[in-house]
Structure 1
Amino acid sequence: MRGRDRAYGALLGLAVGDALGMPTQYLPRETIAARYGVLDGFRPAPDDNVISRGQPAARVTDDTDQAVILGRLLIDGRGRVDQVRFARELRDWHKRMVGAGSADLLGPSTLRALDQLDRGVPPEESGRWGDTNGAAMRIAPAGIAFSVRPLDELVSRVAQAGRVTHNTGIAIAGAAAVAAAVSAGIDGADLSGALDIAVRAAEIGGRLGHYVAGADVASRIAWARGLVAGRDPGEALDLIYRLVGAGVATQEAVPAALAICSLFPGDPFAVTRYAASLGGDCDTIAAIAGAVSGAVYGAGRFPATIVEQLTAANPDLHLSDLADRLLGLRGGTDARPDPGGTPPEPGLG
């Protein structure tokens, strides 16, 4: 079934992009270019990468781990994420990573939200300032579980899924764009169609949650796509790195990832290779780009050797089974979506 191949492709693409970007994350673009050129496969983390050093080739990071956590919670909640349990599982994951000596831990928005919860702030408010890319990096399972039509319902479900840590218009817009593109791909949309739907979802998502100051995600996705249209991939990546940005801000990472998707129609592995070679937060950018392109083109477009290496390095992921279970929710969730998410505070737009 094409839908099953695309659902698995979304999770596989996420994990492949994440693992490709593991050794290069937070390195400058110039360092990556001199050391690797464009990555052609999995590499172990170098000793000078203070975040991932010591990790073997093909090992995934927080992007994949947290997406799997979210996916399992969606299944257990039949489409609705238990926010208290989500926070607890993220905290437990963080503790396990610290215990294992990893420096690749929870991001700033999630850590801030968990601290707020510890102080007695309710889950509806703990994500009040969460505007970084954590919600977008782990949202692909929602794109598998929920149909893209009606779009406002999908966006509402996305807002609910990440509310405890990322309850801002910027974060919801970025996560909605990714989930909508994934969902559209599973429904059979071509790449251009999926990216168009991503922009519309970001427009809707930007009106939900709390206001924080920042550039409009939908506008930046459209601009980034136009910026790289017709350009050589190397030139395009330089422009993305210098102008769009490769940081943890949602309004950088999501437009960067979707712009890279547009460079390699039909080749999701090339999308992940180039995204992981970008620099900055390139494991997350490659994970997002891999999820979208994997949903559009399917798991079968990834080289068999890459899939084998990823599976061998991460034997507990079981992404195909997770994709099947998420796909089983599609069109059959009992959970009712939120009626529009959290409105902005009066006077803040």
Structure 2
Amino acid sequence: MEERVQGALWGLAWGDALGCPVETWRASFIRQVFGDYVELPSELPLQALAGDKKRLERLRPLGLHSDDTQQALALVACALEPGGWTRESWARWLVEGLRRKAWRGYGRNFQVAVSQLAKGGAPEHSGSASAGMGAAMRVAPVGALLRDAPAELARVVMESSMMTHADLRASALAYAVAWSVAALARGEDVARVRAGVASAVREEETRWLQSGTAWSFDRTGGHLVSETLAALLEGPVLAPAALRERISELARPHLAEGFTVAHPNQGFALLGGAHGLVRALTAEEAPGAVLADIIQQGYDTDTVAAIAGGVLGARFGSAWVPRARLLDSERLEGYARALVARGGAPETLDAFVKNEAAWTAHEKRFQAGLVR
């Protein structure tokens, strides 16, 4: 069990770091530069990107985690503080991280929501109108942490998600990830998890749809996440290519304005979020091969791989993760152990912000040097 619990964090961090070098790239360009992208490169392809300022500006030091892992660490530490997770404490972590320039690589919706909290906005009304993956990417370790506390797991995941992503689709998908990780961490067979996750999500969707007006969020998605997961997980396990086609088919009628293609790695809960979760629950290959296959598809490679990695870690443990390739592995080890011990936060808020702000400053210097 300890291996599975820790694997939820190690798998997330590794999927994040492995996907970072090619984040936003199209599959064809990934193949052009790397051939088969199956492992973290030993060096960045600077010659292939010469003159491509837009891509050079986005490159990170190899092995450095992005906001996906940052927010996962913060959520774990916040939940392990004395008194446990509260909306007010989570708001404090989010705001302080933004104020002191610790967060990196975050999206506009996250910034808008945290800015609302910084102005004194109520947590129940701060979330952006986003059905993206920003909530799902960070919750796998919380699923492992609260593996035997289902009511608390639902509360922490749904409320922390709504505070940044006020759309039931985003929060329900995050709950699906956390619920699956909790079940796997407890040792439940993956076939039982596949069979049970859609109904568990539907119950939580129903609870929030009937919750009244205490929270401001987009309810129009209804039971869309649970229905999508049921459609993807009922019946025979789909091969990866067929799964991707099915995900695109199911999501296409629900795309927001601006989506030009229903790519399974796009940053929509029903696309990239469903892809990462379902691929991890149905994979027959080794975990590293699953992440490589996800990343080879392009688009939001780090976030989809982080979602899948967290679930794969809870399913298979952490031995498959090459921890030495992660730049902050010693600190991540402290967090992984804290998930098992549950004896207190691995870092204070101040220590977390100082550490992450230092890595963010390092990343900015690195990127500035690439484009000079």
- Change over 3 Å in CA distance of 1:72–1:309 after alignment to 2: same
Larger C-alpha radius of gyration, 1 or 2? 2
1:72 and 2:77 correspond: yes
The match for 1:282 among 293, 297, 301 is: 301
1:147 and 1:75 map into 2 onto residues whose CA distance is 14
Task: Provide TM-score, normalisation by structure 1.
Answer: 0.79
263-272 or 240-249: bigger deviation: 240-249
Which residue does the alignment assign to 1:223? 231
185-194 or 123-132: bigger deviation: 123-132
Report sequence identity in percent. 28
The match for 2:218 among 208, 211, 218 is: 211
- The Cα offsets for residues 130-149 of structure 1, whole Å up to 9 and x where unpaired, read as 43211111112210121356
Q: Please say if residues 131 and 269 of structure 2, whose CA atoms lie closer than 8 Å, have aligned partners that are also in contact.
A: yes
Which residue does the alignment assign to 1:260? 279
The match for 2:323 among 301, 307, 324 is: 307
Q: Please say if residues 177 and 197 of structure 1, whose CA atoms lie closer than 8 Å, have aligned partners that are also in contact.
A: no
- Equivalences for 1:77-96 in 2 at 5 Å? 77-81=82-86, 82-92=89-99, 95-96=101-102
- Change over 3 Å in CA distance of 1:297–1:79 after alignment to 2: farther
1:62 and 2:78 correspond: no
1:325 and 1:170 map into 2 onto residues whose CA distance is 30
Task: Provide TM-score, normalisation by structure 2.
Answer: 0.74
- The Cα offsets for residues 22-70 of structure 1, whole Å up to 9 and x where unpaired, read as 0121112222234334422102555446376442322221111111111
Q: 1:237: Cα distance to partner?
A: 4.8
- Change over 3 Å in CA distance of 1:203–1:107 after alignment to 2: farther
Q: 1:265: Cα distance to partner?
A: 3.0
Q: Please say if residues 113 and 130 of structure 1, whose CA atoms lie closer than 8 Å, have aligned partners that are also in contact.
A: no
Q: Please say if residues 37 and 295 of structure 2, whose CA atoms lie closer than 8 Å, have aligned partners that are also in contact.
A: yes
Q: Which amino acid aligns with 2:323?
A: V
Q: Matched residue pairs, number? A: 313
1:143 and 1:123 map into 2 onto residues whose CA distance is 22
Q: 1:191: Cα distance to partner?
A: 2.3
- Change over 3 Å in CA distance of 1:52–1:269 after alignment to 2: farther
Which residue does the alignment assign to 1:4? 2
Which residue does the alignment assign to 2:106? 106
Can you give the 5+ residue segments of structure 2 that lack an aligned partner in the other structure? 209-214, 249-260, 344-372
- Structure 2 residue matching 1:175: 3-state secondary structure: helix
Which residue does the alignment assign to 1:338? none
Q: Please say if residues 171 and 250 of structure 1, whose CA atoms lie closer than 8 Å, have aligned partners that are also in contact.
A: yes
1:319 and 2:319 correspond: no
- Change over 3 Å in CA distance of 1:164–1:53 after alignment to 2: closer
Q: CA RMSD for the aligned pairs? A: 2.9
- The Cα offsets for residues 136-195 of structure 1, whole Å up to 9 and x where unpaired, read as 111122101213564x55322312333421243122201101111111111002222233
Q: Which amino acid aligns with 2:283?
A: F
Which residue does the alignment assign to 2:369? none
Q: Please say if residues 279 and 308 of structure 2, whose CA atoms lie closer than 8 Å, have aligned partners that are also in contact.
A: yes
272-281 or 176-185: bigger deviation: 272-281
The match for 1:24 among 22, 25, 28 is: 22
- Change over 3 Å in CA distance of 1:77–1:275 after alignment to 2: farther
Q: Please say if residues 6 and 339 of structure 2, whose CA atoms lie closer than 8 Å, have aligned partners that are also in contact.
A: no
Which residue does the alignment assign to 2:171? 172
- Change over 3 Å in CA distance of 1:83–1:194 after alignment to 2: same
Higher relative contact order (CA 8 A, sep 6+): 2
Q: Please say if residues 79 and 145 of structure 1, whose CA atoms lie closer than 8 Å, have aligned partners that are also in contact.
A: no
2:218 and 2:233 map into 1 onto residues whose CA distance is 25
Can you give the 5+ residue segments of structure 1 that lack an aligned partner in the other structure? 98-103, 331-349
- Change over 3 Å in CA distance of 1:78–1:167 after alignment to 2: farther
- The Cα offsets for residues 227-274 of structure 1, whole Å up to 9 and x where unpaired, read as 99342x456556657756322222222211123214533622222222
- Change over 3 Å in CA distance of 1:289–1:159 after alignment to 2: same
1:128 and 1:55 map into 2 onto residues whose CA distance is 27
